[in-house]
Structure 1
Amino acid sequence: MWLLFLSAAAGLSAALDLPQGYAPVPVSCPTSLDWIRPADGLNPAEAEWVQGRKKNVLAALEGYLDRLGLTDFDVEEYLSRINDNDRANVPILGMAISGGGFGSAFTGTGALRAIDDRLDAATEQRTGGILQSMTYLSGLSGGSWPAVSFPAHNFPTADEILDYWKPDIDRIYTVENDTANTATVTTLFEQIATKYIEGFDIGVADYLGRLFAYEFIPGNSGGLNTTFSDIRKLSKFVNHEMPMPIIHLSMIGEGDPEYDDLWVPRANSSIFDVTPFEFGSWDGSVRAFTPMEWLGNRLSNGQPVNDSVCYQGFDRDSLIIGTSADAFNFWYLESISNDTLGQFAKRSSSPPSTLSKRLTAPSDIDNLAIAFNSSFGLNLTEISYSVFPNPFANLSLSSGIAHDSETLNMVDGSETGQTIPFWGQIQPARSVDFILAWDDSQDASPYDWNNGTNLYNTYVAANNTGIPFPIIPPVNTLMNLNYTTHPVFFGCDANLTTTGDDRAPLVLYMANAPYSAYTNFSFWQSATTREQMGEIYVNSFDIVTQANGTWDEEWAECIGCAVVERSLARVGMNRTSQCERCFGRYCWNGQLDETQPGEMNPNLILDPSVGFDEWNATNPF
């Protein structure tokens, strides 16, 4: 495949009629626009939308809680109380899907499917309805693909979206001709060339985004002109029938560690929120936001540098998912350093075993850099980051490179070590009560299961900055207490939070694990058959429902206890004895077990007699 980049460069130079639609569009500058909003409370438009969402959440909660049939819990009284005071006490729920490429994208979608009341099996298991009760859905890297794709497609079911995605098509390695579902390397380069000709920086994020868009983004030519801000116009968003997406990016630049002319972000680098309403950061070097539809305009002290022409359309969905998954700097450093530089918290730190299902990045990844250089005259450093015109320059709310630079360099949010996108949801302004965290960041070496490193990293970051979040035990304890193979709640005891009170959300942590299938497949698995997708969906369903309740017939009720927990005190109700039992079984109580755990290499949890070798002989991924 990588040799195709070289022919793409030659083909591009001969192209006369470039496709339109990817480049930002020049328009007249608005005369009455607040270009900058301080990171103080919610965006008024988001706050209004959240208030509208509460009516739908209330209706969904009624059906969900009625199906649960919680013991000694007066559902009617609870609903009446949270409906008081303009629904001020309706719980705010969210889901966060980790990075992890196609693995996380597909297993996370399977988890989302298991909480959707449009799936009869989920309703029967009484987990259906949690999705309809959620206000936020956040994603990062591979997790950003469903987090953008579902809203962009007007929120279909997980089974319906496979007909849009067509995951069985190999869009990376075998494309020879353009179709409605694929594009050649030459065509992808021609598409991003239109942005370059318009005067904008381009790089690997643009290429990756256009490549992934043919699978995940609706619209002609792989959603060539589909924008993230346009989600606000879709019927299910307008009618508050879907959760609001939040995508995480990380900023990188001068002052960060540098290896072979490439920067690597620090653990405390600024994390940026991308929502249909705005782009910006809550803390760090930027404490401000700019309207999403006007992203792509360079500002100084909150005003356009060039007020005679402004741009719209920079926020293409493909750029958002491409940037969120752009870890080219890490991939390149890995390839030239024998995997000693550019290490993710989610990456293996030792050579993969012969039984590992992960594939490493292509060893000749530098040919992509050669193709960019041949086509556009851009060097390795120029293409490694997603470059955004800086809207935060010369603000009192910004500092460092965000204050001084004309551009911002953005990369895969995983590079900061927080691969589960909690950060936007745990900001106090959003007042989130409960987060279902799906982890498929593959941080357990060498078999690429999960050991909780990224969950723990968010706790450390939250604790260092005073953000309310549950205390998370170290990785050894997470593994020794089997929290990476069976679900666990954190924050049930408000004392076990960074602030020692109930301002922190209660977190349900679910890690991808082999229940009925070995789903630790590669980031770079470029095609997945419908049969394999069926196995992935069933495995995720087994995790969420705990094998249709066979592990614990009260498990569904225990999730319900966590869903309502934070809102109980606000409406003057007490935790029931049933929920006390549930939390006694499933909540971390502060216990530590820091003995050195064994290698993370579980057999099938629902059939331990079947090891990977035996299963893989007839189920190759």
Structure 2
Amino acid sequence: MMQPLFISIAAVAALSAAQELPQGYAPIPVPCPTDLQWVRPAVGLNPAEADWVQGRKPVVLEALRTYLERLELADFDMGEYIARLNDSHQAHVPIIGMAISGGGFGSAFTGTGAMRAFDGRLPAANTQRTGGLLQTLTYLSGLSGGSWPTVSFTAHNFPTADEIVDYWKPEIDRIYNVENTTADAATEVTMFEQIATKFEAGFDVGVSDYLGRAYAYEFIPGEEGGLNTTYSGIRQLSKFLSHEMPMPIIHLAEVGSGDLEYDGLWVPQANRSLFDVTPFEFGAWEGSVRAFTPTEWLGNRLSNGQPVNDSVCVRGFDRDSLIIGSSADAFNFWYLEAVSNDTLGQFAKRAVTLSDLDGIIEGFEEVFGLNLTQSAYAVYPNPFANLSLSSGVAHTAPELTLVDGSETGQTIPFWGQIQPARNVDFIFAWDDSQDASPYSWNNGTNLYNTYRAANATGLPFPVIPPVNTLMNMNYTTHPAFFGCNASRTTTGDERAPIVMYMANAPYSAYTNYSFTQSATSREQMQEIFENSFNIVTQGNGTWDAEWAECIGCAVVERSLARVGMQRTHQCTRCFERYCWNGELDERTPAVMNPSLILDPSEGFAEWNATNPF
């Protein structure tokens, strides 16, 4: 059990004297730049991102060629396809993304397993002909627990999954009962000392800072849990500069005045603005904010697009730890679930105990004098105040109040990838949000929620059937494609990407462990990786020997018409098997409690009896 975080002023080394505290987490004062566009309208891509995407296309094209050569699609003239992509000066190279859902450590690790199964650096993935798809990604988006691998892989300069596990050391518990600060974990006192430097520098702090510092000792590179590592700094890493890794996108949700309020805590409405955070910029495409500001210069309060204090600006607010802590800050929901006996604040994730939450609240009250309401959210100085491109609280408030993006009901981070400016053709969607109670599998609710939100706002996205159909057609246990037929999309045309939906399910292991499990043995990590590999490859092709080719068909589908080529007969057969055809089955489904898919005779009790986890 987590120890109460009741920290005395003496225990945090005289917080009133900033010079006595560890330096590194507080934003750094610098002269204000004179040639910076502080705010741009949410129209088209940021020019720097557009240039980077263009630079990524030749690298993707070569990765796609290698992948397709290995795949050997029937009746598909791969050489002609690649030649036509080259003839377009790479303009028609498909833009491919992957989105990893929220779900704490569960989604972080199972989603990493899926990335591993797509990695061309893994011989087993190449043997199963799924390897190489990771190298074709232009975008990688994450939310909450899914933000941890998304930021970690890119911040570590994109190692393999097996290499990154050695960096993470997941067997170390960084959350509960850390007795001494080491290079691999920090005590509550140390983390409050680190956060205090930011507080003493005049910035709001809260649970997002605390969570981020705890998670950073596992997921962020650099000394003291990546204390100085910034999200915008990804742009300077060698594999980002050479366009050899995808660009990360993290989602946050706005919350504030006008939302429902319980026990002094806000609950965001489903249509609340979702904020994109990329290494280039921070902002939202629609809603209360329709603008972006450079991520590197987060932390500066702006009015009408200019610094309120133009004599001193700050850099370094965008610590990687703050970004992942903000994306996973669902403290308002956890608390409301706990105090209401699960009647308020419900979403896919399950809360820690009330005593754990009270311990964190006591820590912020004792150290910083902040109450529950003041410390529950991620608070960012508002760069969008007094703009014609903002409205509501974002137009008037000095700060933006942000929470875990899944609180809007969209736990799979599609939103940034389905913006028309990004022109994404295909998305691998990994879902481990554990929304099928009581056994913490997945029922597709969050996939369906994004369809509803996209349909309401006119964004291009596949039509998704309701949850009952998703479950009854086994789309939550076997991967499926949505949007293959462009008429079956919200816009009725090929602007919508094809989505390959993969839900975590028990193939070779029961991986529905608690999202709060804070220490995972190497043996369990191996089982998680093997299970995700079996989902991606469909049991090494035992479910369907043509499955790998069917993935390839979906990956190239949107680009074929642009280069004047036709879908092959093999791909037509694949789409007949794996694309949702509009059929509905709205009978009440059975409780989601599957046995091992690769060995149905082995139920959970039998499997659990022979596994130490």
TM-score by length of 1: 0.97
In structure 1, how many angstroms separate the alpha carbons of the residues matched to 2:10 and 2:577? 62
Change over 3 Å in CA distance of 1:517–1:10 after alignment to 2 = farther
Match runs of 1:222-621 below 5 Å:
222-344=225-347, 346-347=348-349, 360-621=352-613
Could you tell me how far apart the structure 2 residues matched to 1:440 and 1:3 are?
Answer: 28
Residue-by-residue CA offset, 1:509-541 (whole Å, 9 max, x unaligned): 000000000000111101000000000000000
Distance in 1, Cα, partners of 2:551 & 2:9: 53
Contact 1:447–1:601 (Cα < 8 Å) also in 2: yes
Paired with 1:618 and 1:154, the residues of 2 have a C-alpha distance of 38
> What is the deviation of 1:347?
4.2
Distance 1:535 1:67 in 2: 27
Query: Can you list the C-alpha shifts for 1:477-503, whole angstroms capped at 9, x where unaligned?
Result: 000000000000000111110011111
- Measure the CA separation in 1 of the matches of 2:343 and 2:173: 30
Aligned to 2:184: 181
Q: 1:120 aligned to 123, 133, 142, which one? A: 123
Distance 2:295 2:326 in 1: 15
Equivalent of residue 203 in structure 1, options 195, 206, 209: 206
Paired residues of 1:9 and 1:372 also in contact (CA < 8 A)? no
Q: CA deviation at 1:399?
A: 0.4
Distance of 1:364 and 1:213 partners within structure 2: 20
5+ residue gaps, structure 1: 349-358
Following superposition, the deviation at residue 364 of structure 1 comes to 4.1
Contact between 1:438 and 1:509, CA under 8 Å: does it hold in 2? yes
In structure 2, what residue type is equivalent to 1:211? A
Q: Distance in 1 between matches of 2:317 and 2:570?
A: 51
Does the CA contact (< 8 Å) of 1:477 and 1:594 recur in 2?
A: yes
Report if aligned partners of 1:99, 1:419 keep a CA contact under 8 Å in 2.
yes
| 2:32 matches 1:40 | no
1:418-442 deviation per Cα after TM superposition (whole angstroms, max 9, x unaligned): 0000000000000000000000000
CA–CA distance in 2 between the matches of 1:156 and 1:347? 29
State the match for 1:138 in structure 2. Answer: 141
Give the distance between the partners of 1:43 and 1:361, measured in 2 at CA.
Answer: 42
Q: Please tell me whether the aligned partners of residues 484 and 498 of structure 2 are also in contact (alpha carbons under 8 angstroms).
A: yes
Shift of 1:4: 4.3
CA distance in 2, matches of 1:233, 1:362: 42
Per the TM alignment, residue 85 of structure 1 is displaced from its structure 2 partner at its CA by 2.8
Task: Report if aligned partners of 1:93, 1:133 keep a CA contact under 8 Å in 2.
Answer: yes
Mapped partners of 1:36, 1:606: distance in 2: 52
1:189 and 1:10 map into 2 onto residues whose CA distance is 12
The whole-number CA distance in structure 1 between the counterparts of 2:249 and 2:531 is 26
Change (3 A) 1:9 1:120: farther
In the alignment, which of 60, 65, 69 is matched to residue 57 of structure 1?
60
List per-residue Cα deviations over 1:419-473 (Å, max 9, x = no partner). 0000000000000000000000000010010000000000000000000000000
Deviations 1:113-160 (A, max 9, x none): 000000000011100010101100000000000000000000000000
Is 2:5 aligned against 1:5? Answer: yes
Query: Aligned residues: percent identity?
Result: 75
Using the alignment, how far apart are the partners of 1:8 and 1:33 within structure 2?
Answer: 43
Write the letter of the residue equivalent to 1:582.
Answer: C
CA–CA distance in 1 between the matches of 2:507 and 2:140? 25
Aligned length: 610
Q: Deviations over 1:370-405 (max 9, x none)?
A: 111011101111100000000000000000001011
**Map of 1:351 onto structure 2:** none
AA matched with 1:433: D
User: What does residue 23 of structure 1 align with?
Assistant: 26
Deviates more, 1:604-613 or 1:456-465: 604-613
Aligned mates of 2:9, 2:599 — CA distance in 1: 51
Name the SS of the counterpart of 1:329 in structure 2: helix
Query: 2: distance between equivalents of 1:123 and 1:178?
Result: 41
The separation in 1 between residues aligned to 2:9 and 2:509, in whole angstroms, is 42
Structure 2 match to 1:352: none
Judged with a 3 Å threshold, the aligned counterparts in structure 2 of structure 1 residues 335 and 72 are, in CA distance, closer, same or farther, namely: same
Q: Deviations over 1:559-610 (max 9, x none)?
A: 0000000000000000000000000000000000000001000000011111
- Greater Cα offset, 604-613 or 420-429: 604-613
Q: Match of 1:105?
A: 108
Matches of 1:93 and 1:598 in 2, distance apart? 34
- On the 8 A contact 2:471/2:589 being kept in 1, the answer is yes
- Identify the residue that residue 93 of structure 2 maps to in structure 1: 90
Distance 1:535 1:228, change over 3 A: same
Task: Output the CA distance in 1 between the equivalents of 2:87 and 2:332.
Answer: 51
Amino acid at match of 1:593: D
* Residue type of the alignment partner of 2:363: A
How many Å separate the matches in 1 of 2:171 and 2:9? 28
> Which residue identity lines up with residue 166 of structure 1 in the other structure?
K
- Whole-angstrom distance in 2 between the partners of 1:83 and 1:274: 31
- Residues of 1 paired with 2:561 and 2:352: CA distance? 49
Letter in 2 for 1:12: V
Which position in structure 2 is the counterpart of 1:356? none
- The corresponding residue for 1:153 is 156
State the secondary structure of the residue aligned to 2:390: coil
Q: Contact (CA 8 Å) 2:97, 2:426: kept in 1 or not?
A: yes
Report the counterpart of residue 68 of structure 1 in structure 2. Answer: 71
Per-residue deviation at 1:366? 1.6
Q: 8 Å contact 2:304–2:385 — kept in the other structure?
A: yes
C-alpha deviation, 1:86, in angstroms: 1.9
CA contact (8 A) 1:49 1:240 kept: yes
> What SS does structure 1 have at the residue aligned with 2:252?
strand
SS at match of 1:135: strand
**Contact preservation (8 Å) 2:3, 2:176:** no
Q: Secondary structure of the equivalent of 1:137?
A: strand
* Alpha carbons 1:35, 1:302 under 8 Å: kept: yes
2:5 counterpart SS class: helix
Aligned with 2:98: secondary structure? strand
Q: Deviations for 1:332-366, whole angstroms, at most 9, x for unmatched residues?
A: 1111111111111x247xxxxxxxxxx74454412
The yes-or-no answer on 1:79 pairing with 2:82 is yes
Structure 1 residues 9, 364: CA separation in 2 closer, same or farther (over 3 Å shift)?
farther
In structure 2, do the counterparts of structure 1 residues 461 and 9 end up closer, same or farther at CA, with 3 Å as the change threshold? farther
Maintained 8 Å contact 2:85/2:91: yes
CA contact (8 A) 1:471 1:490 kept: yes
Q: Which residue of 2 aligns with 1:354?
A: none
Tell me if the contact between 2:3 and 2:177 (Cα under 8 Å) persists in the aligned partners: no
